[in-house]
Amino acid sequence: MDVQEFREFGKAAVDYIADYFQTIRDRPVLPSVQPGYLDDLLPKEAPQTGESWQDVLQDVDRIIMPGLTHWHSPNFHAYYPTAHSFPAIVGEMMSAGFGCVGLSWMASPAYTELEVAMMNWLGKMLHLPEEFLNCSEGPGGGVIQGSASEVTFVCLLAAKERKVKELRQINPELTEGDIKGKLIAYSSDQSNSSVEKAGLLGSMPMRLLPADDKGRLTASVLLDAIEKDKAQGLIPCYVVANLGTTPTCAFDDLNDLGPVCNKEQLWLHVDAAYAGTAFSCPEYRHLLNGVEYAESFNFNPHKWMLVNFDCSAMWVKDARYLVEAFNVERIYLKDNHKGLAPEYRHWQISLGRRFRALKLWFVLRMYGVEGIQKHVRNQIALAQYFESLVRSDDRFQVCTSSMGLVCFRLKGDDRLTKNLLEKVHQRRNIYVIPGQFHQRFVIRFAVCSRITERSDIDYAWQEFLSQAEEIVPCSKGDIGEKKGIAAIGLCSAACEKICSEKSK
Ligand SMILES: Cc1ncc(COP(=O)(O)O)c(C=O)c1O
Q: Is 16 exposed, middle or buried (0-12, 13-18, 19+ CB in 10 A)?
A: middle
Averaged pLDDT, 116-127: 97
Contact indicator for 354, 118 with CB cutoff of 8 Å? no
**pLDDT band for position 97 (cuts 50, 70, 90):** very high
**397 close to ligand 1 (CB < 6 Angstrom):** no
Domain end marker among 322, 354, 386: 354
Residues 349 and 387 grouped into a single domain: no
Distance from residue 272's CA to the centre of ligand 1 (Å): 8
The closest alpha carbon to 222, from 258, 183, 179, belongs to: 258
Distance from residue 84's CA to the centre of ligand 1 (Å): 16
Report yes or no on 89 lying in a domain.
Answer: no
Distance (Å, whole) CA 221 – CA 338: 44
- The enclosing domain of 461 has a CATH number of 3.90.1150.10
More confident residue, 497 or 455: 455
Residues 349 and 392 grouped into a single domain: no
pLDDT for the residue 104: 87
Q: Is 86 exposed, middle or buried (0-12, 13-18, 19+ CB in 10 A)?
A: middle
Q: Per-residue pLDDT for 218 more than 80? A: yes
Helices (H), 354-413: 356-391
Residues 252 and 388 grouped into a single domain: no
Domain end marker among 354, 387, 414: 354
The chain-wide mean pLDDT, for the chain, equals 92
Residues 64 and 160 grouped into a single domain: no
Q: Specify which of 224-238, 310-324, 478-492 reaches the highest per-range mean pLDDT.
A: 224-238
Instruction: At 2, give phi and psi (nearest 5°).
Output: -95, 180
Averaged pLDDT, 335-353: 81
Report yes or no on 75 lying in a domain.
Answer: no
Distance (Å, whole) CA 252 – CA 241: 6
**pLDDT band for position 487 (cuts 50, 70, 90):** very low
Q: Per-residue pLDDT for 439 more than 70? A: yes
- The enclosing domain of 30 has a CATH number of 1.20.1340.10
**pLDDT band for position 117 (cuts 50, 70, 90):** very high
The closest alpha carbon to 151, from 267, 19, 248, 68, belongs to: 267
Q: Which domain holds residue 488?
A: 378-503
Q: Mind giving me the DSSP string for 437-476?
A: ETTEEEEEEE---TT--HHHHHHHHHHHHHHHHHHSPPPG
pLDDT for the residue 476: 53
The amino acid at residue 229 is D
Residues 50 and 185 grouped into a single domain: no
Distance (Å, whole) CA 479 – CA 136: 57
Distance (Å, whole) CA 498 – CA 492: 10
Distance from residue 80's CA to the centre of ligand 1 (Å): 9
**pLDDT band for position 345 (cuts 50, 70, 90):** confident
Quick: pLDDT tens for 457-481: 999 999 999 999 999 987 654 444 4
Q: Per-residue pLDDT for 488 more than 60? A: no
More confident residue, 361 or 136: 361
Q: Choose the weakest-confidence range: 44-58, 70-84, 473-487.
A: 473-487
Distance from residue 414's CA to the centre of ligand 1 (Å): 27
- The enclosing domain of 180 has a CATH number of 3.40.640.10
Residues 205 and 294 grouped into a single domain: yes
pTM of the shown model: 0.92
Residues 158 and 288 grouped into a single domain: yes
Report yes or no on 185 lying in a domain.
Answer: yes
Domain end marker among 302, 322, 354: 354
Residues 265 and 118 grouped into a single domain: yes
**462 close to ligand 1 (CB < 6 Angstrom):** no
**pLDDT band for position 338 (cuts 50, 70, 90):** low
Distance (Å, whole) CA 317 – CA 408: 39
Residues 343 and 404 grouped into a single domain: no
Report yes or no on 364 lying in a domain.
Answer: no
**148 close to ligand 1 (CB < 6 Angstrom):** yes
Distance from residue 194's CA to the centre of ligand 1 (Å): 7
**pLDDT band for position 336 (cuts 50, 70, 90):** low
**pLDDT band for position 343 (cuts 50, 70, 90):** confident
**252 close to ligand 1 (CB < 6 Angstrom):** no
Averaged pLDDT, 426-435: 96
Report yes or no on 87 lying in a domain.
Answer: no
Work out how many domains the chain is built from and give that number. 3
Residues counted in the chain: 504
Residues 330 and 417 grouped into a single domain: no
**380 close to ligand 1 (CB < 6 Angstrom):** no
Q: Per-residue pLDDT for 408 more than 90? A: yes
Contact indicator for 299, 122 with CB cutoff of 8 Å? no
Q: Choose the weakest-confidence range: 412-426, 442-456, 467-481.
A: 467-481
More confident residue, 328 or 343: 343
Q: Is 90 exposed, middle or buried (0-12, 13-18, 19+ CB in 10 A)?
A: middle
pLDDT for the residue 269: 98
Report yes or no on 448 lying in a domain.
Answer: yes
Residues 204 and 282 grouped into a single domain: yes
Residues 483 and 394 grouped into a single domain: yes
Q: Specify which of 87-96, 97-106, 479-488 reaches the highest per-range mean pLDDT.
A: 87-96
pLDDT for the residue 333: 73
Report yes or no on 437 lying in a domain.
Answer: yes
**251 close to ligand 1 (CB < 6 Angstrom):** no
More confident residue, 288 or 487: 288
Report yes or no on 85 lying in a domain.
Answer: no
Quick: pLDDT tens for 189-200: 999 999 999 999
**400 close to ligand 1 (CB < 6 Angstrom):** no
**300 close to ligand 1 (CB < 6 Angstrom):** yes
The closest alpha carbon to 183, from 210, 157, 153, 219, belongs to: 157
pLDDT for the residue 503: 45
